[in-house]
């Protein structure tokens, strides 16, 4: 093989390696919603769907890490029947309606970037599956943001780091008028 041909072959293989490496290190998926004035960052390769104007589904999928989970963000007006704390309780009651053997593992109240936040972690049985549900209720000026995850109890430890990073990136982007 001539030197020129060898160099072309090496260049070709190095080019392929660079392309594969660039795809592997995909950037995070940044989502912002001007209407409800919030932003959130998801892991690379996340698909985000706006199912209704007030419901966002994010499907996080990474075959290499054997990771597949769904995070849902539900936006509700703060004015009306329920207070922001009651929305957290409503989520618990909706899980209770479709589940059995529900047990609350942990609850917490904290501040997330100057906004009040409630955290719930519950284990429950739905059908023949033992599940883990986590939901954060964040109080904005005019809206309540309910960030939810439900997954298999056995994969929760692996998924929890991803869920926490998503929550840590959640930010209100302005004052709602």
Residue 11 within any structural domain of the chain: no
Range of the domain at 96: 27-172
Separation CA 10–CA 149 (nearest Å): 46
CATH number at 54 reads 3.40.1000.10
Residue 101 within any structural domain of the chain: yes
Residue 85 within any structural domain of the chain: yes
Number of domains composing the chain: 1
Residue 129 within any structural domain of the chain: yes
Comparing CA positions, the residue from 167, 107, 86, 99 lying closest to residue 131 is 99
Residue 1 within any structural domain of the chain: no
Residue 104 within any structural domain of the chain: yes
Residue 82, classified by CB atoms within 10 Å of its CB into exposed (0-12), middle (13-18) or buried (19+), is: middle
pTM above 0.85, yes or no: no
pLDDT per residue as tens, the chain (177 positions): 544 443 333 333 333 333 333 345 789 999 999 999 999 999 998 999 998 778 999 998 877 766 678 899 999 888 776 788 888 888 889 888 989 889 999 999 999 888 899 999 999 998 888 999 999 999 988 899 999 999 888 888 888 999 999 999 999 997 644
The H helix count followed by the E strand count for the chain is: 3, 10
Q: Judge contact between 45 and 59, C-beta under 8 A.
A: no
């Amino acid at each position: 093989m001539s030197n020129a041909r060898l160099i072309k072959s090496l260049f070709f293989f190095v080019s392929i390696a660079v392309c594969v490496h660039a795809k592997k290190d995909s950037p995070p998926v940044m989502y912002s919603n001007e209407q409800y004035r919030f932003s959130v960052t998801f892991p690379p390769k996340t698909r985000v769907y706006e199912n209704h104007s007030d419901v966002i589904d994010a499907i996080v999928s990474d075959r290499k890490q054997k990771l597949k989970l769904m995070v849902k963000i539900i936006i509700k007006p703060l004015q009306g029947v329920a207070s922001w704390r009651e929305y957290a309780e409503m989520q618990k009651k909706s899980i209770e309606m479709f589940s059995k053997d529900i047990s609350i593992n942990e609850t917490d109240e904290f501040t997330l970037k100057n906004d009040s936040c409630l955290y719930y972690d519950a284990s429950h049985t739905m059908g023949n599956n033992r599940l883990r549900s986590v939901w954060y209720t964040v109080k904005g000026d005019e809206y309540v943001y309910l960030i939810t995850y439900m997954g298999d109890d056995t994969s929760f430890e692996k998924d929890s780091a991803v869920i926490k990073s998503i929550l840590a990136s959640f930010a209100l982007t302005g004052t709602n008028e």
